[in-house]
Structure 1
């Protein structure tokens, strides 16, 4: 049963997630552009500077919708942060909510243009680092597990990148430490579960994409959404340290 204090925390996290939504949408609009390092700075219709249009979701010049539908990102962010806070508290909740918020942007961008921009993966890792600093004072063991998990996750992705000859993107490798820290904070078993979940989600996505296009060879499937999904599955419901 969820107590009153937990419900208050869920509500607060939900409000924070909703308020962060416009800025998440802006990040999606600016980064969902093909090409390494590319960023959108003008309206796709009238070429006017985006400015606050990326936040509001509508061009101030021509009125055309910009990015995802109004309130969609806000609602997803609010619900996701509420779910994380229902399962976690303290620094673990902070870490989980940060990964959720970054994950929303990462999934949207990777699904749209098949890339994970460096500023977004760096923000995920930086937020995880701050959460670990908050954790280290009262639970150094958890902080140590998270750091070790981040290293393992990065190592595994780099190995897969080498074995697949670039089949795993550099952005996926850069994202791995932040997600690994979040998933492995509670032990090796949750980290392994995140890895298995990521693999299953990636395989399902690949099969579905192949079925939709009618062929398996040459179909490119972004791996970022599966990575984020695997980490969040653990962050929102991992058990005790493994």
Structure 2
């Protein structure tokens, strides 16, 4: 039931994220003016703003002028719903759930923006520091896991340090937005556990490498092509949540050790 409720919430959040993805890179307000058709300027009616369903009913066209509506709109809504449901299934109905649903939301928004404009806007990344910190403090208070709060601080500092070193060591290898995002992900991964922090950081570079190879093999760019790294960082963080404990157990098993309870 938690996953189902989160999935439905994700559909609604995804509708808002479409506005965020379109307007934030342009420096526009996400609350004013109301959404309208870019073709004829007609305002979007409430009945035409139901996530996914409205697009299907309208057959991907504006009700007023029949201008085509990009399929990305329902895909973002559906994708957000799926990610919300998956995160809720992993985290469960706990005090920490709001923090990781927030991670799911910014993962969708920032990934779409980075793929579009190769940028991670400060308007989303920087406010995420106090938002995530507050949500994790509430989670620590509600669950009594104050050691997790300390891990979150350590995780943020560790990830920031890692990305600053990489940014300085190889200029142009990654953007400053990636460095800023690292601290936010470090907090969330650190709160979840040390194993998640290590795996999330590692997975980002694996996913980034796979994406780079894919770009070269498909002929969409050469070896020097710039690949948005934000989606890999966010994807690695999300993957670390369910995979950290099994991977840590597997590794310790190879070393002949037994995971601590």
The equivalent residue for 2:137 is 133
The equivalent residue for 2:112 is 108
Partner Cα separation in structure 2 for residue 176 and residue 44 of structure 1: 36
Contact 2:23 2:29 in 1 (8 A): yes
Residue 91 of structure 2 corresponds to residue 96 of structure 1: no
The equivalent residue for 1:222 is 228
The equivalent residue for 1:69 is 72
Sort the Cα spacing of 1:214 and 1:238 in 2 relative to 1 into closer, same or farther, 3 A.
closer
Higher Rg of the two aligned structures: 2
Partner Cα separation in structure 2 for residue 66 and residue 125 of structure 1: 34
Alpha-carbon shift at residue 130 of structure 1 (Å): 1.9
Sort the Cα spacing of 1:39 and 1:190 in 2 relative to 1 into closer, same or farther, 3 A.
same
Q: Deviations over 1:97-132 (max 9, x none)?
A: 110111000000101111111111124333311211
Gaps in structure 1 of 5+ consecutive residues: 1-7
Aligned residues: 230
Alpha-carbon shift at residue 208 of structure 1 (Å): 1.1
Partner Cα separation in structure 2 for residue 168 and residue 39 of structure 1: 28
The equivalent residue for 2:82 is 79
Residue 212 of structure 2 corresponds to residue 206 of structure 1: yes
Question: So what's the TM-score if we normalise by structure 2?
Answer: 0.76
Alpha-carbon shift at residue 70 of structure 1 (Å): 4.0
Contact 2:118 2:228 in 1 (8 A): yes
Alpha-carbon shift at residue 157 of structure 1 (Å): 0.9
Contact 1:194 1:233 in 2 (8 A): yes
